[in-house]
Structure 1
Amino acid sequence: MSSVRVPAVKVPTAARNAWNLTLGEGLEPYQPTPPTVIHEGPHRTLRKYDVPAGGNHDAHPVLLVPPLAVPISCFDLRPEQSLAQHLIDTGHAPSVVDYGTISFADRDLGFEEWIDDIIPAAIKRVSAEHGGAPIDVVAWCLGGTMTLLSAAAHPEQPIRSIATVATPIDYAKLPNLVPLRTAARFTGGRVTTYGTKLMGGMPAPFVKLTFRATAFQRELKKPWFIARNLGNTETLARMESIERFMGQMPGYPGRLYLQLWQRIMLRNDLAKGQLVLGDRRIDLRRVDKPVLAIAGTGDAITSVPAARHLATVLTGSPGIRFETAPGSHLGVLAGPGAPEHTWPHIDVFLAEQQAAARA
């Protein structure tokens, strides 16, 4: 029987990686882009990423808006996978709004708190930090939804443009939701409603489990993936950063999750160009800013058709651009291919807004 020879140079690396992944302190420490807190409050802490000495302190402001139930590290996953650092390197001054942890005590918070208060306040403060200049907003997933709804509800905000990444609009075109929507026709959605009310929201463990379930095949193949790449530190470090990101996920407030479930997931309000909150109707046709929407071709959470529908409902926007890029739900924003495929779309869009402002 012939034996398989493993190159000697690979053995120390593989052994070191195996140790660091299991009993050690990890493959690489988290090195976030340094921020300075410019405002602190419940679910609204505003952090401005530091511009290095000698950098462009007059750079145009950009606000990064995350979705609920994820940490702000989605914009700053690793030094090589950091949209925040990329914006600094390309002459922008990025800030990010941090919602912090969500607990049972926050169960009464709804979309209104983000649409009418948290996001507008962050936009106003970032604008004030830059002499009242209108700002560009870059948002991921539900962060894009909340930003668009906030812009529609309060068109007087100092927003220059909005870029969304992996933001679904037509929830009927999300394959993962089909079984839930079908079951809800028979139950009236009461199972989810009762469970959410009982728990006061969607707790962090459920959010983490749901996120992992969307990549079920990847989870099943993870042991083989690790074994196959034990000698590749960079590949394992990318995997480790995703595990760290998922480990930090907070939950959803109860009232907001019920609104999301009943009005957006089941009734598909956004596909009709609106969101109904009680007696209030927020009309997406009132968004009067240029909008860029980017969807990931490998995204198991936000399908390309679900994101593309944004161009159908934003009839009041002076300019809408829709682009696709390879990547999963997180990968299209911060994966190893994002600097080459996704971020250039954002760069071009922001450059066009700057040129139009100068003209």
Structure 2
Amino acid sequence: MGITDVVGKAARNAWSLFVADGIAPPHRTPSVVVGDGRHRTLRRFGPENAGPPVLLVTPLAASPTCFDLMPGRSLVEHLLELGRSVFLVEYGEMTSDDRDLGLEFWIDDVIPEAIARTSELCGNREVDVVAWSIGGTLAMLTAAAHPDLPMRSLTAFGSPLDYSAIPLMALPRLVGRFVAEPALGLLDAVFGGVPAPIVRTAYRLTAIEREIQRPWFVATHLADAETLARMERVDRFQDEIHGYAGRVFHQLATSVTIDNELATGRLHLGDRVVDLADVTVPVLAFGGEDDVLAPVPAVEPVTRLLVGTQVRFVRVPGTHLGMLTGSAARDTSWAELDDFLREPCADSDAPAATLPVEQEVVTTGA
């Protein structure tokens, strides 16, 4: 390729990136809405009755595009290729009218309804639930609080349970003990929660090195449309992050983060206690080796807290988002997920399949 070609490509890419609508169009696998309600839109990808149902549970505040980020790195597309009936529940934007919504709204209402509806649409078959980040925590709490739901298995990508094991949270946890209540009260009074711009900024700061190096990265890859398109899609995902409702953020900040209740396996919600020991469906949990939001030591306690079921914990390469959609996911986390979905209750003492990841298999008796 001559210098003229390189300069021409760089000029076209620069125009697309900075002036036009972008290098690559937003990626969306076609879907239809099969259930709707307050902060619950249930989508089905692919044809009706394609195969065993999988429900993708979106984290609070995150865009559902985390499961469908780009061609070749879409868990939705991968599951469709496996012949699965794929469903996804998303929550939409939060407003000041949602300030009173707490974790109970999701674990007692939204997620159970999505599981039941998915099962109903698939001939009352049991549902394999796959979740990312705090979505995995919500799914575990839902399974513990409602053991009668038609769930077949639960997979959680990067879902932390011990917040004392997250270095990034050390200072916020310390400072939060003194200022959390007045700060959260102010946010709730003014905004009814935490506005999306604040959440987006906080998420970007967790990858501050990427943000600092972004101009140099763009400059050195200006003639590489494919690389810039991947960067652009991650940027779009970050730009679509939503805000938090006031009460649910208060619970996450105090009970979950500062008080670290989940590390005990129990979460107090008003007068009730949800105990993770009550989870009875088989669980697969992933920890990313480069994840700063949910590092391996924060995720691994799933093996000692979910004592009522069979748990498989797997370390995989990648960041918080990378373990779900990164270039290595197809051969690591997705391959492990494929095996688990085929047989969630497989004998965990059997030799694990050979994968380029470190694996740990833990079985705890009911």
Give yes or no for contact 2:282–2:345 (8 Å, CA) kept in 1. Answer: no
Letter in 1 for 2:163: Y
Per the TM alignment, residue 341 of structure 1 is displaced from its structure 2 partner at its CA by 2.1
User: Hey, what does 1:61 align to over in structure 2?
Assistant: 53
User: Hey, what does 2:287 align to over in structure 1?
Assistant: 295
Per the TM alignment, residue 234 of structure 1 is displaced from its structure 2 partner at its CA by 1.2
Give yes or no for contact 1:42–1:100 (8 Å, CA) kept in 2. Answer: no
Give yes or no for contact 2:152–2:281 (8 Å, CA) kept in 1. Answer: yes
Give yes or no for contact 1:196–1:202 (8 Å, CA) kept in 2. Answer: yes
Q: Structure 1 CA distance, aligned partners of 2:345 and 2:257?
A: 36
Aligned partner of residue 299 in structure 1, secondary structure: coil
* Equivalent residue for 2:33, pick from 12, 32, 37: 37
Per the TM alignment, residue 40 of structure 1 is displaced from its structure 2 partner at its CA by 1.3
Offset from partner CA, 1:55-74 (integer Å, 9 cap, x none): x9441000000101011111
Give yes or no for contact 1:196–1:258 (8 Å, CA) kept in 2. Answer: no
User: Hey, what does 1:171 align to over in structure 2?
Assistant: 163
Per the TM alignment, residue 191 of structure 1 is displaced from its structure 2 partner at its CA by 4.1
Q: Structure 2 CA distance, aligned partners of 1:115 and 1:267?
A: 20
Offset from partner CA, 1:300-354 (integer Å, 9 cap, x none): 111111011111100001x111111111111111122222222111111101139
Give yes or no for the alignment of 1:23 onto 2:14. no
Aligned partner of residue 200 in structure 2, secondary structure: helix
User: Hey, what does 1:259 align to over in structure 2?
Assistant: 251
Give yes or no for the alignment of 1:75 onto 2:75. no
* Equivalent residue for 1:283, pick from 275, 284, 287: 275
1:15-164 alignment to 2 at 5 Å? 15-51=11-47, 57-164=49-156
Per the TM alignment, residue 194 of structure 1 is displaced from its structure 2 partner at its CA by 2.4
Give yes or no for the alignment of 1:247 onto 2:239. yes
Gaps spanning 5+ residues in structure 2: where?
348-366
Give yes or no for contact 2:188–2:194 (8 Å, CA) kept in 1. Answer: no
User: Hey, what does 1:228 align to over in structure 2?
Assistant: 220
More deviation in 101-110 or 325-334?
325-334
Aligned partner of residue 40 in structure 1, secondary structure: strand
Q: Structure 2 CA distance, aligned partners of 1:6 and 1:274?
A: 63
Q: TM-score, normalised by structure 1?
A: 0.93
Q: Structure 2 CA distance, aligned partners of 1:192 and 1:176?
A: 19
Per the TM alignment, residue 296 of structure 1 is displaced from its structure 2 partner at its CA by 1.1
* Equivalent residue for 1:211, pick from 193, 197, 203: 203
Give yes or no for contact 2:28–2:68 (8 Å, CA) kept in 1. Answer: yes
Gaps spanning 5+ residues in structure 1: where?
none
User: Hey, what does 1:332 align to over in structure 2?
Assistant: 323
Q: Structure 1 CA distance, aligned partners of 2:346 and 2:126?
A: 14
User: Hey, what does 2:363 align to over in structure 1?
Assistant: none
Cα RMSD for the two superposed structures: 1.6
Q: Structure 1 CA distance, aligned partners of 2:157 and 2:149?
A: 21
Q: Structure 2 CA distance, aligned partners of 1:81 and 1:58?
A: 21
* Cα distance change, pair 355–303 in 1 and its aligned pair in 2 (3 A): closer
Q: TM-score, normalised by structure 2?
A: 0.91
Letter in 2 for 1:23: V
Q: Structure 2 CA distance, aligned partners of 1:8 and 1:327?
A: 37
Aligned partner of residue 96 in structure 1, secondary structure: strand
Give yes or no for contact 1:207–1:249 (8 Å, CA) kept in 2. Answer: yes
User: Hey, what does 2:260 align to over in structure 1?
Assistant: 268
* Cα distance change, pair 216–191 in 1 and its aligned pair in 2 (3 A): farther
- Percent identity of the aligned residues? 43
Offset from partner CA, 1:69-109 (integer Å, 9 cap, x none): 01111100112111001000011111000101111111100
Give yes or no for contact 2:195–2:242 (8 Å, CA) kept in 1. Answer: yes
